[in-house]
Amino acid sequence: MNDMTHTTGAASGTAGIESDAASATVPEVPVFDRAGLAERLGDDELVDIFVAKFRAAIPAYVDELRSTLETASIDAVAAVAHAVKGLAANIGAEQVHQVAAAMEVAARTGDTGSLTALHSRLLMACEIFARETSP
């Protein structure tokens, strides 16, 4: 793959995401900014290690978000979405970052109506990232 792994468009349901809280469309972004991560880490082998660790860790966060949504713990949703946003930004998982950011904004602004849809989109973005970065 090239340095900026392909951008998935609105047809996949991950880009062009509408968030009522943000009142704006999330711009199309690449699935993975491998070049950016490689530049930050300075070593391609480390990129593969960090990506594997992210892929292994992110399902627990997605599950935690689902649990917090089920219990209507909006503060917890915002906190976990914030953590996912940071992890995704650090690793270069651009679409995951964008959806997590929209989810955090929705939780912090009380837009509870969009949280379930955003969680589904986050799950999809994570699945796409895993597929695009699989060895």
Confidence of residue 9 (pLDDT cuts 50, 70, 90): very low
What contacts 31, CB < 8 A, 6 or more positions away? 5, 6, 7, 8, 93, 94, 95, 125, 128, 129, 132, 133
d(CA 118, CA 104): 10
Q: Is 27 inside any structural domain? A: yes
Q: Which residue range(s) make up the domain with 24?
A: 10-133
d(CA 36, CA 110): 33
Tens digits of residue pLDDT in 19-69: 444 434 456 899 999 999 999 999 999 999 999 999 999 999 999 999 999
CATH number of the domain encompassing residue 77? 1.20.120.160
State the total domains in the chain.
1
Q: Is 26 inside any structural domain? A: yes
Q: Is 2 inside any structural domain? A: no
Q: Assess whether pLDDT exceeds 50 at residue 1.
A: no
Tens digits of residue pLDDT in 96-105: 999 999 999 9
Q: Is 43 inside any structural domain? A: yes
